[in-house]
Amino acid sequence: MLPTGFPDKTEIARLSASMLWEVGAVHFRPHDPFTLASGLPSPTYIDCRKLISFPRVRATLMDFLTVTVMREAGFEAFTNVAGGETAGIPFAAMVAERLSLPMTYVRKKPKGYGRNARIEGVMGDGDRVLLVEDLTTDGGSKLSFVDAIRETGATCAHTAVIFYYGIFPETETTLGAHGVRLHSLCTWWDVLAEARRRGAFDAGTLAEVEAFLNDPRAWQEARAGA
């Protein structure tokens, strides 16, 4: 069913952050930082993959993501919805179902045998593709997926995510320079605000997380190799 009547963007952000907390997708650990894929430390970690195991939460978030895209990009903006391997695939399928559109997915690299494909499903000339993923940090990982989509003759000018870090100022510039607009439900700032509302952590932990969010590069450099 196509969602149309939903809360405004501010309330969607608050509710989305609340649901991420409710399912245990958010972790704050400033005194024993997580190691990111980049090898750099972080006091925060989010696991959006957990959402697929919570039917009511995932359905609400996918309604929110669908209505956000329609509001910001248009009701007839797309002819195809693509998920990025692997975390984006289930969310793309759910958004495609709501929009009544074909669903495809994009591999991180060619399959390596058979057709050696990066695109699975049917996509080609004239398609207007929405790229769906679970989250984005600095936007860089999206560019390879967008390029693979465009190589089919399709266009891809929009990407939609549940969670956007919202702390790296270059993110939207990087995507914009590649001709891509970002749509998202909530950021670390929304999640931090929800943590305060819930009284989920002591003041010292929240202050350390806020210091990271205000200047992540400096926070990481100060602790790299520690």
Confidence band of 1 (pLDDT split at 50, 70, 90): low
Confidence band of 3 (pLDDT split at 50, 70, 90): low
- E strand segments, the chain: 26-28, 34-35, 41-42, 44-46, 80-84, 103-106, 119-120, 128-136, 155-164, 181-186
Range list of H helices, 39-78: 55-73
Q: Render pLDDT for 167-196 as a digit per residue (tens, 0 to 9).
A: 998 999 999 999 999 999 999 999 999 999
CA–CA gap between residue 162 and residue 216 (Å, rounded):
21
Residue whose pair of structure tokens reads 């995510």 in the numeric block: 161
pLDDT at 16 over 80: yes
224-to-35, 52, 73, 219 alpha-carbon distances in Å: 10, 33, 40, 9
Q: What is the pTM of this model?
A: 0.93
Instruction: Give the domains, in start order, of the chain with CATH numbers.
Output: 9-223 (3.40.50.2020)
